[in-house]
Structure 1
Amino acid sequence: MTTTFTSTTASVRAIEQAEAAWLVALTEGEEAMSALMLEDGRAVHGPVGKIDDRETFVHFTWTRRRMAFAKAEELSITVRGNTAITTCLQEMHIYFDENLPPFPVQEAVTRVWEETEEGWRLAHMHQSKRMPPA
């Protein structure tokens, strides 16, 4: 049996919107991030490849790395049925100390999105640090 997967313009636009919503959620807090992730979602992050469930990841992200700003460049989207895979370079400006200006961090990111009745939700994410942007 052969299965053919196509990326429709509508599904690509929906994923672009989900990606944009994720970047906004990074600056809004735990509740906003959790709302865009599946309950059993996982994130691989940190300098040593830490693997966290949804709650642990969003709590860590908001309490340890509060974002002032986030953007993505070079977004690539592949849609196969109700699963989408995105890759991008994500730049974030993070407050590690409220008395200091935000610190720029850049990561190469892969996200796996699943289409649900509520819309596209993040099922898995892998972030790898890059050198700080110039």
Structure 2
Amino acid sequence: MERACKFFSSTESEIQMMLREKTLDSDRILKWCKLLEYDFFRIYSQHLILYSPPSSNGYIEKAKEDTNLPLFKKNLYTREIIEFLIELVNTGEKTKLEIIKEYKIPKTTLYKWIDKYSNKV
């Protein structure tokens, strides 16, 4: 607590109030990331990747048609996301079909992940 007080130039009661708040400004979250050496923004970016609207796929397809340059596939799924989805299957919390429908992951991709990572999780 003493380290946080010095870092934020605040009193202990102000830090405790900050922790009780329902929302924090991004600059405060960034400061907490630096202080705790943990990337809290990764949680939100992974959420956006998992729950991105299907309309974004049309944008990618449109970009393909307009250019003659080769397009490279970018791996959108981090190791944490893959492990999370495999854990859902292994614990029986969700079936493979539910994951495919809810997260819009291709069937072959999910099965490849399960073959590749299930013994490592």
What TM-score does the superposition give when structure 1 sets the normalisation length? Answer: 0.22
Pick 1 or 2: higher relative contact order, CA cutoff 8 A, min separation 6: 1
Structure 1 or 2: more helix by fraction: 2
Structure 1 or 2: more strand by fraction: 1
